[in-house]
Amino acid sequence: MSTGKVIGVNLSARRGIKKINVGSGYLLADYGLQGDAHAGTSRQVSVFMAERAEELAGALGLPFQPGDFAENITVQGINLEGINVGFRILVGEAIVEVTQIGKKDDESSSFSFLEPAPLKTEGIYCRVVKSGWVKTGDWVTIIT
């Protein structure tokens, strides 16, 4: 079983503005991260690996902060590269199910404050299947 930690819980009140790390949040079943502009959509919550984000930011000569690539949950120490649609992940108290990996180029909100926008190809999009709180330092575990 693969485990890691949450290092960022990131949201933006409106689409098209930078997500900020708020440290904790509530993942509501069939809705997403409360307070985030993207909640309630087919891609309720986005997850991205900090190691990959640091690599991309470093290539640009920039420091990395959780939320820089428009992800809701930034995780560290867990390899999500082999994850597939249908996998479930325990994130803090909540459980999310992977519904999509990447998204089509023509879809809106392929936004990142640091280019490139890796969520288009590497982003893990999930729906919340069990509500719960998530905060920085919480464990992240692939459960199926």
Q: For residue range 51-100, what is the model confidence (pLDDT) as tens digits?
A: 988 887 788 788 889 988 889 999 999 988 889 999 999 999 999 999 99
| Per-residue pLDDT at 121 exceeds 70 | no
Tell me the domain boundaries of the chain.
3-142
Which residues, listed in sequence order, are joined to residue 9 by a DSSP beta bridge? Answer: 73
Give the pLDDT confidence score for residue 6 in this predicted structure: 98
Mean pLDDT, residues 97-105 taken together: 83
Q: What does CATH list as the number for 3-142?
A: 2.40.33.20
Residue 123 or residue 29, greater confidence: 29
Rounded to an integer, what distance in angstroms lies between the CA atom of residue 57 and that of residue 91?
A: 25
Q: Yes or no: say if 55 and 137 are a contact pair by the CB < 8 Å rule.
A: no
Higher pLDDT, 10 or 121: 10
Tell me the two tokens of residue 107: 């879809």
- In this prediction, residue 63 carries a pLDDT of 86
In the predicted model, is pLDDT for residue 50 greater than 70? Answer: yes
Query: In angstroms, how far is CA 136 from the centroid of its own chain?
Result: 13
- Supply φ then ψ for residue 52, to 5 degrees: -70, -40
8 A C-beta contact, residue 71 and residue 96: no
pLDDT score, position 5: 98
Range name among 3-12, 71-80, 109-118 with the lowest pLDDT average: 109-118
Chain-centroid distance, C-alpha 6 = 10
pLDDT reported for residue 76: 96
Relative to beta strand 124-130, strand 94-101 is antiparallel
- Residue 102: the pLDDT is 82
Instruction: Please give the structure tokens belonging to residue 62.
Output: 């920039």
DSSP type of residue 56: H
| Whether residue 11 has pLDDT greater than 50 | yes
